[in-house]
Amino acid sequence: MERLTEFSRPRWRKVVASATHCVGGDGLGIMTAMVYARLNNFSFWSEFWFEYLVGYLFGWFVFQVWAMRMHDNGWLMALWKGGRAEFFSMITVMVGMGLVMRFVTPATVGAEPLPDTYAFWTFGALGLMVGFAFTYPMNWWLVAIGWKHGQGHESMRDNR
């Protein structure tokens, strides 16, 4: 555990871990929602908000709550802190994802690609990478104010 704590001591490393964790959780929800939305012919804005909702819920309940529990928070406090951190992180992930969905994908392939195409998964991955770039500064701020911790935070105990 000491080695992990030493590795994650610089803030930039905590922020990389925080943003990666964020995009991983949000991305799982976003891509799941995108598959459903495309198969059910959602309009652009219906799809966008559906992806936002599902990505937010995945990120909050599957990733953030458990991360907050690792920092000696009870369940209610973990729900509050996880939801608060997820709210701000998810906004910036979806800005990046939305820009790719709205401008890059149609300009490159025309129509919104379906899940059985390479274009769907390629532009989904590109959207998440752009989302990472957009959420990195937000995660920097969230780590700086203590709302997110990054991984291997100094307050974690060896018995966890």
Q: With 70 as the cut, is the pLDDT of residue 31 above it?
A: yes
- Please report the pLDDT score of residue 128 as a whole number: 96
Q: Got the DSSP string for 34-73? A: HHHHHHTT--HHHHHHHHHHHHHHIIIIIIIHHHHHTTT-
What the block records as the tokens of 68 is 């907050």
CA gap 23, 54 in Å, rounded: 13
pTM: 0.83
What the block records as the tokens of 65 is 């709550």
Mean pLDDT rounded to a whole number for the chain: 86
For residues 36-50, give the mean pLDDT: 96
- Reference 31, options 106, 93, 91; nearest CA is 93
For residues 27-49, give the mean pLDDT: 96
**pLDDT more than 70, % of the chain:** 88
Q: With 50 as the cut, is the pLDDT of residue 43 above it?
A: yes
Q: With 70 as the cut, is the pLDDT of residue 7 above it?
A: no
Q: With 50 as the cut, is the pLDDT of residue 86 above it?
A: yes
The single-letter DSSP state of residue 159 is T
Q: With 70 as the cut, is the pLDDT of residue 155 above it?
A: no
In which residue are the tokens 């018995």 written? 159
In which residue are the tokens 């690792």 written? 70
